[in-house]
Structure 1
Amino acid sequence: MSTTGTDRRYTLLGAPFDGAATLGWPGSRYAPARIRQAMSWILQRRENGQIYCLDHAALHPFPEDLLTDGGDVHTVAHDLEATLAAAADGVRDTLAGGRLPVLLGGDDSLLFPAARGLAEAGAGSVAVIHLDAHLDLLDRSEQQGTHSHSSGMRRASELPAVDVSASVQLASRHFNFPSSLAYRADRGLRNIPAAEIHRRGADPVADDVIAHVSGADRVLLAFDIDCIDPAHAPGAGAHEPGGLTSFQAISLVQRLAPHVDAMVLTEVNPLTDLHDQTANLAAYLVAHFVVHGGVTGSNTEEAGEF
């Protein structure tokens, strides 16, 4: 699997689709544009191919080509299958071109095509690090079908290349279907709920996760914004109290980034957001992901003091 990044480069892909958000609030189709807008606030701080991260008092390389925008994948508002296929193609083709994809949703049905695109990019196994308030292991229901935002992890776990025993779910909380517990137990899918992260802290949990996924050849970071408490991320598809703080979420992304080969960020909802607070947080999550995972010296262990 990937370790610390050596001259890794990233491409943003938008997926402005929320046709599978059959429960909760729709509106995440507007997120890619708002997150991109917020990114401009961050990127204007680059100077001479570097950016200064105050979190660790460190200069980080940020060359012009570290993060490029590949535009939106082809979305068809009435056609879930076509949209998921296009998203998978975008992830796979980006990897084939030698760059790492950051797919911006859209609803969380996009977890599945992100995993599929990563699996189709080469031989070997894939692990999924899934940050989400919910388990997303629903097989099917009358109202949601089989490929909704409640089934992304279930469909991803059924891909032959996905190593479920090397995958892990983080920041889940409150209540879920008993059938999802049975599926987790049967497949050996690990879960670290938000309550445990609050008790143990983000850094020890990150160390645990890195060790857990280390046997896989490639790793997907699937980040549903509702893993963060609605006090910090009000613009989401659903509000679940007791989630991660923005600081915990950023810390986890910083630590995990060098070990991850693709990211999908979903469920940011500008229609429920407050003054673009959540879109701005999402933009910072992407920025920390590429800065800390992208180039030699970009992770916190290697970055020098300044």
Structure 2
Amino acid sequence: MTARALPRTSRRFTLLGAPFDGAATLGWPGSRYAPDRIRAAMRWILQRREGGQIYCLDHAALHPFPDDLLTDGGDVHTVAHDLEATLAGAAAGVRDTLAAGHTPVLLGGDDSLLYPAARGLAESTAGTVAVVHLDAHLDLLDRSEQQGAHSHSSGMRRASELPNVDLAASVQLASRHFNFPSSLSFREQAGLRNIPAAEIHRRGTEAIAEDVIAQIAAADRVLLAFDIDCVDPAHAPGAGAHEPGGLTSFQALDLVQRLAPYVDALVLTEVNPLTDLHDRTANLAAYLVAHFVVHGGSPDAAPEGALS
């Protein structure tokens, strides 16, 4: 496969909040409070802009950061007691942002929001959509008595049912430990690639990013779905579930920097202020968003070594 082309023009991004955790049927609830905490952490980063630029020490480079590079579009329509209405509201928010010519950044909320993010992107293109799914879990559960059909355990499964989502061009990253045998069967039948956290640790983020960029080359649009529990709880204690052996904060940031230029929408989920420690996880999430915007915003902002 050849790599996806870098964007030819500069992009603008819109931040959307989805303060909903009504589908967090396992683990800890509390991610409804995440959008506000991440927005607060963003202020620490944004105050470093000067003259329409920001200096990235990671690559010793100045990057454009005009005032309109990232705007806050407020919260999508959420209904605390109505999962279906909330999923529809989130999909509409993504779809409307794309229609306005901006790249959506959807802040959850629990990981059921992967599905409406994929739906909003899929409904905005006549082509195919790939999902790059960073998560400790596979989220391929079909249905269960306790979780139903839409939960934080089934977002990727529901996204796979969208008619133009291409699972063969998609990839799951940073999964670990144990999951349902039925999810393995589905993944194998669908041809969905999985790169577990152990492989990322062994091979490094640069090689993994190159693999992912080649994997998604067949798709017309790409969703980056980032569940914060892909990061080890030592680095991200404020999550809906704790799975040891995950990515370091550096690995997570490096992957986002490298993938950002090739991605058409981001959904970031499962940050949980009720289990966080001194806002460490909300702060990491804010930096993930900032690097996504800075390194995905213009053709010359891609990290050194990114494929073209």
Question: What TM-score, normalized to structure 2?
Answer: 0.97
Query: Which of 2, 24, 29 is matched with 1:26 structurally?
Result: 29
Query: Which of 165, 168, 171 is matched with 1:165 structurally?
Result: 168
Contact 1:61 1:297 in 2 (8 A): no
Report the secondary structure of 2:299's partner residue. coil
**Does residue 1:186 correspond to 2:176, yes or no?**
no
Runs of 4+ in structure 1 deviating by more than 6 angstroms, as ranges, are none
* Unpaired runs of at least 5, structure 1: none
Correspondence for 2:20 = 17
Report the secondary structure of 1:297's partner residue. helix
Contact 2:16 2:106 in 1 (8 A): yes
Contact 2:94 2:104 in 1 (8 A): yes
Query: Which of 38, 41, 46 is matched with 1:43 structurally?
Result: 46
- Kindly report which structure 2 residues correspond to 1:55-66, keeping only aligned pairs within 5 A, or say none: 55-66=58-69
Cα shift readout 1:43-83 (whole Å, capped 9, x = no counterpart): 00000000000001010010111000000001000000000
Correspondence for 1:256 = 259
Aligned equivalents of 1:217, 1:131: Cα separation in 2: 20
Contact 2:261 2:299 in 1 (8 A): no
Correspondence for 1:276 = 279
Aligned equivalents of 1:7, 1:209: Cα separation in 2: 23
Report the secondary structure of 2:120's partner residue. helix
Correspondence for 1:84 = 87
Deviation of 1:7 (Å): 1.0
Cα shift readout 1:122-179 (whole Å, capped 9, x = no counterpart): 2100000000000000000000000000000000011111000000000000000000
Aligned equivalents of 2:66, 2:207: Cα separation in 1: 31
**Does residue 1:195 correspond to 2:198, yes or no?**
yes
Aligned equivalents of 1:231, 1:302: Cα separation in 2: 29
Correspondence for 2:10 = 7
CA-atom RMSD in angstroms: 1.1
Cα shift readout 1:92-143 (whole Å, capped 9, x = no counterpart): 0100000000000000000000000000112100000000000000000000
Correspondence for 2:153 = 150
Contact 2:6 2:299 in 1 (8 A): no
Report the secondary structure of 2:183's partner residue. helix
Correspondence for 2:76 = 73
Query: Which of 291, 297, 301 is matched with 2:294 structurally?
Result: 291
* Unpaired runs of at least 5, structure 2: none
Aligned equivalents of 2:30, 2:13: Cα separation in 1: 26
Deviation of 1:296 (Å): 3.3
Q: How many residues align?
A: 303
Report the secondary structure of 2:10's partner residue. coil
**Does residue 1:111 correspond to 2:114, yes or no?**
yes
1:11 is aligned with what amino acid?
T
Query: Which of 99, 103, 110 is matched with 1:100 structurally?
Result: 103
**Does residue 1:208 correspond to 2:239, yes or no?**
no
Aligned equivalents of 1:9, 1:228: Cα separation in 2: 27
Contact 2:238 2:282 in 1 (8 A): yes
Question: What TM-score, normalized to structure 1?
Answer: 0.98
Contact 1:131 1:171 in 2 (8 A): yes
Structure 1 residues 21 and 5: CA distance shift in structure 2, 3 A: farther
Structure 1 residues 25 and 5: CA distance shift in structure 2, 3 A: farther
Correspondence for 1:140 = 143
Query: Which of 208, 223, 229 is matched with 1:220 structurally?
Result: 223
Deviation of 1:297 (Å): 1.5
Deviation of 1:2 (Å): 5.8
Correspondence for 1:54 = 57
Deviation of 1:5 (Å): 5.6
Cα shift readout 1:174-197 (whole Å, capped 9, x = no counterpart): 000000000000000000000000
Deviation of 1:300 (Å): 1.6
Contact 1:74 1:86 in 2 (8 A): yes
Aligned equivalents of 2:6, 2:169: Cα separation in 1: 16
Report the secondary structure of 1:214's partner residue. helix
- Percent identical pairs in the alignment equals 83
Deviation of 1:6 (Å): 2.0
Correspondence for 1:240 = 243
